[in-house]
Each structure stands twice: as C-alpha cells, then as structure tokens.
Amino acid sequence: MKYTSEEIAKMLNGTIEGDTCKIVSSVAKIEEGKEGDLCFLSNSKYTPHLYTTKASVVIVNKNLILEKKVDCTLIRVKDAYIAFSKLLELYNKMTFPNTGISEKSDISNSAKIGENCYIGPFVFIGENVIIGDNTFVFPHSFIGNNVSIGSRTTIFSGVKIHNSCIIGNDNIIHSGVIIGADGFGFAPNIEGNYNKIQQIGNVVTKEFVEIGANTTIDRATLGSTLIKKGAKLDNQIQIGHNVVVGENTVIAGLVGIAGSTKIGDNCMIGGSSGIAGHLTVGNNVRVAGHTGVGSNVKDGETIQGPYAFSQKEFLRSYIIFKRLPKMYDTLRKIEKSLLQ
C-alpha cells in the first residue's frame, strides 16, 4: 500500500494540514509511528504522542486543538476512529487473493457461483448451492447441499456450513465456525436411555453479521435458528437450536445460549456468561461477564452475578458478602458476651 496524504484525505473527505504529497506505506499505533506510517488519534489519552510521533500522517478529529507545533501531516475528519477503520478495511481487502475458482476445489455441477468470487483450494460445495457476487470462500471450507450464501460475504478457512442454511449479504465468518450442526435434542425413554430428536431446521444469518473463530450455531429442530442483521459474535460461542439473536446485539467469547431462547436487539452480553433455554431477553439488555441467566430479562435491564439479578442489587450484596468475615467475628463476640 502506497498512498499520498492527499489521496487518503480524498478517500475520507478530510482536510489536510501539512504536506499534501507525504507518502505512507504502512499503518501503526501513534506511539510507535515511524517515517512512512499512517496513524490515528481519537482518544485524548494519547494526545501527547501526537507531538512526539515519527509517523508521516496522522488522522485526527476536526475539533482537535493543537497545543504546539507537530512534525507530521494531519488529516482532519469528523470521526478519526471510524475513518481509520475504513482505511484498515481497504488495506485488509488488498491482502485478499485474486478472484477465481481453484482447480483443486470440488464444486457440484448444480451449484451457482456469482461473479468476481474466490473459491480456494480444497473447498467442497454441494448440490444446489447458490453463492452471490464478490464472495470469498477460503481453502478447506465445506458448503453443504442447498446452502445459500449472499454477496460480498467472506468465509475463512475451515468453515463448515451444513445443508439448507442461509447466509446473508456482507457476512464475515471466521475460521473453524460450524453453522448448522444438529441441535442438542434428546428425549429419555422408558429404558433410561435417550432417543435422538432429529433436527430438520436450518440456520439463517441476516446482513452484516460477523461470527468469530470456532463459534458453533446449531440448526433448529423445526424452523430456523436466526442471527439478525448486524449481530456480532465473538470466538468460541455456542448458540443452541432455535435461538434468536437480535439486531446489532454483540456477544463476547465463551458465551453459551441454550435452545429456544430469544435475545432482543442492541444487547451486550459479556464473556463466559450462560443463558438457559426457553427464555426471553429483552432489547437493550446488558449482561456482565460470568453471569448466569436463568429467568426472563426485561428491556433495558443490566444484570450480573452467577444467578443473575439486578446489577445494583448484586453490587450491594457483594459489599455485604466481602464484610461477612468481620460481621461473623462481631457476632461471635456478642454471642460470647451474652453467654458470660
């Protein structure tokens, strides 16, 4: 990547202060910037580095007031963080392979592949698969029969998408993800064994969904397990059968959501939390890390604790819990004085 400061400013609709012909060829953190680097400053905590950085170009917010002269060229934009993220996206796409279908892939004759797609070596694509335009499927991925994948979606190496699942436009699915494996459905019989309940539904992901590495999303028993538009799932998450994850909900790593639970829109679920099955979690809910959710949660609530309840009540209880040893000693002294 080699761009001038003027070219970058045009991409971001920014204004330049300094050398319009400054050339950058790499990106870096502002505190580590060197000649030829492009950096950004959005957090005021890092402002002192602006006056010492060796970076060639720094993207800053429009309203930044300089306290002294800087050596680098500045590009002023409305939001430096968002602008820099756009450049990183562009840079990342430049590292992708060229479009085309590898001769080492195994693609059914009935599959339909859109224009400008990349299908890597050792990819398997089953019967009646539909893949939209400008989609990338990296090596060693498995796409089962009757799967539909939208346009501009990226499927990294080693992803498994089982039969009849539907993947939306502009999805990013990271390595090791398994979509559409059987849900955990078993019924006890009179002999004390378990009979498997066949899972014949699918998984549907809507637009702009991102799924982290080694996350698993089980197919529905009937109907669909649904991940709605804009949802972001971290690495190593387990989504059970018939779960619904709402729009723009973000879920951190190691979360487990049991079958048939409905998660609302714009929720934030902290890492290592567990949510029991057949629950309803409302919109705009905040679940702190390591929380166990065993009952329905109303819109807008913030919950915390191994047996989750109101965060305020939990914090009050936790203060008392920390004082229990001292309270116990006091109680023993009172008890002893009464017995004398």
Task: Round to whole Å and give the CA distance between 252 and 232.
Answer: 9
List the catalytic residue out of 140, 162, 174, 241: 241
Residue 241 annotated as catalytic: yes
Angle value at C-alpha 251, between 61 and 91, nearest 5 degrees? 45
Tokens matching residue 32: 């580590």
Q: Among 171, 170, 173, which residue's Cα sits nearest to residue 157?
A: 173
21 contact partners, CB below 8 Å, separation of at least 6: 4, 5, 6
Catalytic residue numbers read: 241
